[in-house]
Structure 1
Amino acid sequence: MKRLTLLLIISIFFSCKKTEDTTVQKVETNKTEFDWLVGNWIRKNDQDGKQTFERWEKKSNTEFIGIGYTLLEKDTVWKENVRLSKTDTLWEFAVTGKEDTQPTVFKLSKVDERSFVFENNLNEFPKRIEYTNKGNAFSAVVSGDGMTIPFEFEKEN
C-alpha cells in the first residue's frame, strides 16, 4: 500500500508539472532605428517655384519604402524610389531614379537613434547619404567628391 501511495503521489507531481505554453507567441518588437522616417515630408529649402516631397512607409521591421519627387508648378521634374531594407545583418538603401533600370545600392555605415549614413564609394554622385532626425523635421545631406547638397524637410500634417 505504501508503494501504491508513493507511486500515486509521484505521478500526480509529474502530471502537474508546468510545460511551455505553445499557444503563446513570442512578440517581436516593431521598433527600428528608421521608424521616425515614416510619414509625408515637404522640403523647406527648395529653389523658388519648386516643391520637393518624400513619403515613407514601413512594410515590416526589415523594409521601408520611400518615394521622393519634385514638382515645378504641376509637372514632376524629378522622381526616385527608395527601398531601405535589411538582408541578414546588412541594411541597404537602394535608389532607383526616373530613368534608371537598376537601383544604386548604398550600404549602412553608421546608425544611432537620431541619424543614419549610407555609403557607396563606387557611385559617381552621391557617395554618401546622411539623414538626421530633428523631431517633426529631418535633414538629408547627399555628398561626394567635395560636393554637398543639403535638404531640410518638415513633416506634413
Structure 2
Amino acid sequence: MKKYKWLLIGGNLILLLAYFNWSVVRKEQTLKEGELVLFRLAPVDPRSLMQGDYMALNYEVADIKRNHLADSFALVPWRGYAVIVLDSNRVAKIVRLQSDKSELAANEQLIKYHKGYFDLLKLGAESFFFEEGKGEPYTKAVYGGLRVDSDGNSILVGVYDDRFRLIP
C-alpha cells in the first residue's frame, strides 16, 4: 500500500508540473503571436495601502450600460466572448457580446470576458503593478495594452500614453 501511495503522489506531481509548463508555453505563445489590442482606461486611483503602487485597469468599453451592450446587466451571461473591432490605432470597441465562438466578420476579433460588479465586464488584467515610488510616468497612461490570441485569451503587456506609445 505504501508503495502505491508514493507512486500516486509522484504521478500527480508529474501531471501538475506538465500542466503548469503547458500553461506557461501557451502564455508565452500569446505574448509572441497574439495581436496587440488597446483599451481606453477609465480614471482610477493608483494607490493601495495593502498592495503598494499599482494602477487599477478599468476599461471604458467594459461598461455595459454606457456602451449599450445589453438592455440589462442581468441578461449578460456570466462568461462569454466580447466581439471587438480595432480602429487604425489598434484601439478596441466592443460591438456585441456572445456566449460562443460563432462566425466573425473579417475585421472582428474575440476576447474572453466574465461579469464583474457595477455593470462592468472583466476583459483581462485588472491591475498593473509597478515599483514603489516609480509611478509618476504611469500617470500619463491612457490605454491598457493586451495581447489577444485567436481563442480570446489575453495577457497585459503594458500601458500606453495618448500617442499610443508603450510607457516603459
Same fold (TM over 0.5): no
| Superposition TM-score, scaled by structure 2 size | 0.23
* Higher alpha-carbon Rg: 1
Name the structure where strand makes up a greater proportion of residues: 1
TM-score relative to the length of structure 1: 0.24
Relative contact order: is structure 1 or structure 2 higher (C-alpha 8 Å, sep ≥ 6)? Answer: 2
